[in-house]
A = this chain, B = another copy of it.
């Protein structure tokens, strides 16, 4: 993808919540870093300090941790038009416990911590953009953390399919199990049961 196109994507995303002048758009874009990651390579690993927050313009990545037993727990699948990273590490500058690995060749736009801080000084309107972005994310995380605790694994799978019908086809059953919070074996059973219904 040429960068014109990927800049257009991020400007459209920002444009949903705030209006920018041409000058502000140029300034904003000058603060971004273009990043490409090949399939099966890491954008970030546990132990790293998160240097960037990313906007995905192309591809698919998984964000996950490993528990003490080495079992993966997937916290999100990041696809086009999504923001990703480890915000806790990005803000505190402490080492992350997350891995971010590309499932497909992917293209991202990153903002460094220094530029993120600068952005608010240069274009204070971005406080509003992030206020609304975080507010919306918060609403969906609150819903997810309640659902996670009150629905059965089968219900969570049906919910995921309903909410992200395209993403289901881009990820393996094993990764979906890691997201839903069950073993791949049980995921397999659920899927064959749901398909039979």
Which of A's residues lie within 8 Å of B, judged by CB? Answer: 65, 67, 71, 73, 75, 87-88, 91, 120, 124, 127-128, 130-131, 134-135, 137-139, 141-146, 148-150, 181
Contacts and interface: CB of A to CB of B under 8 A. Distances in A.
Contacts of A130: 131, 135
A131 B128 CA distance: 7
Contact of A91 (B135, B137, B146): B135
Contact of A138 (B71, B128, B141): B141
Contacts of A124: 124, 127-128
Contacts of A139: 87-88, 91
B73 A146 contact: yes
A172 to B, nearest CB: 18
